[in-house]
Structure 1
């Protein structure tokens, strides 16, 4: 089979990521494996995305001091302010967040439900400005959330888990569901039907999924994040510091 140039490139990158990922299986401790695979995803992003992005970890907070809990990877434009705790671990303004990524070695049902709980908190955080779409791209009023798993269930099983969680918690899918799910060792990815990767289709379904050549699922996250970078370049959300300090009070003991 003859591949296009970018297809061939991402095929080789995917193979390298999977090979390096297997190397971490030498470690006995699960945290070491997790940190190693998180570092691999960070390296992939830094190699492929513009230099205008920072890759942080830590906790996101909004103007009302609501918090996200620990997040693996937080993408933020370098034009926005930071609140460092130690090195790359930071408190991050919700209005400065371009996207978040949770990295999983193996995406089990338990891990998936825990990630949904976290994404629910993240998407509930207030954003003062939307992320601007253009053309067929919808404006985004909630922080984009991505799952990057090195292996996991089938597309059909993932959709079953998403719908069962929504029914169990009595939630709208938009309030917790990921914007993209990448299962690296599979041949598909799932994305929102909002135009940020594919032109939206006239369907009530919230998601679309891609299945094609056996190594192109990295193209999905690459396309999505490049479109986000373009949005922040040409229509950056305005940032207002004042609401984060508004009405601080001194509590009486």
Structure 2
């Protein structure tokens, strides 16, 4: 099969990302190591996503006073105001959020369970702009939704992760899991790709280069469509 230019670019990008990961193993302090690996992914996204997006970390809030847990990376529309702190973490208004990303060196059943509770806090948010629900022309993603995803450098096997996900509540299941060494899992809800008819909960993309290509494409499509979203900021007055 002939490889597209974008596919070849993603192949080369994976080599760079995995090389940076390997270099980070020289750091023997776990907390610092984790921060470095998060920053590798955040820097990559900043370079490759449209300029209308901020890539930040922090907690997401809504006008009802709900908070999420700490998010490793959040994609936020630049037209959205932020509440930045000197620590580098923001309080982020939910209406401006496109996606949350959990970045893990390793991903197994126990880590996935922890991430699931984090995702649940994102799904519990109540955006003020209820009317913003139209779908994208290419896929069926609604702009009122926040895309939840996980990026891991080294996860358990795809089949092991698929089994572990079944133990999670529906509100805790990510839309995407990108393993930089194994491939991509896409929630089979028909919002990002055509639904598979094999009753599988997730669609498996076993080539990591294709997985990265699809992952970036989904983010770019969602970002481009959200650029025109109207937001009711006065809801935060009460």
Query: Of 204, 208, 211, which residue of structure 1 is paired with 2:206?
Result: 211
Alignment of 1:145-224 (within 5 A): 145-166=148-169, 173=170, 175-186=171-182, 188-201=183-196, 205-212=200-207, 215-224=209-218
Q: Structure 1 residues 232 and 142, CA, compared in 2 at 3 Å: closer, same or farther?
A: closer
Q: Structure 1 residues 3 and 182, CA, compared in 2 at 3 Å: closer, same or farther?
A: same
Partner of 2:62: 62
Deviation sequence 1:135-179 (CA, Å, 0-9, x none) = 34142543211100001012211111111133xxxxxx2x12111
Unpaired stretches in structure 2, ≥5 consecutive residues: none
Alignment of 1:32-71 (within 5 A): 32-71=32-71
- SS of residue in 1 equivalent to 2:209: coil
Deviation sequence 1:52-93 (CA, Å, 0-9, x none) = 111111111111111002111111111111111226421001
Q: 2:162 & 2:100 partners in 1: Cα distance?
A: 21
TM-aligned CA deviation for residue 23 of structure 1: 0.6
Aligned length: 235
Please identify, of 196-205 and 12-21, the stretch whose mean Cα deviation from structure 2 is larger.
196-205
TM-aligned CA deviation for residue 192 of structure 1: 2.2
* TM-score, with structure 1 as normaliser: 0.86
- SS of residue in 1 equivalent to 2:166: helix
Counterpart check, 1:143 vs 2:146: yes
RMSD after superposition: 2.0
- SS of residue in 2 equivalent to 1:80: coil
Please identify, of 201-210 and 224-233, the stretch whose mean Cα deviation from structure 2 is larger.
201-210
Q: Structure 1 residues 56 and 208, CA, compared in 2 at 3 Å: closer, same or farther?
A: same
- SS of residue in 2 equivalent to 1:238: coil
- SS of residue in 2 equivalent to 1:190: strand
TM-aligned CA deviation for residue 204 of structure 1: 5.5
Deviation sequence 1:193-233 (CA, Å, 0-9, x none) = 34554233457654322224x53221121011011112113
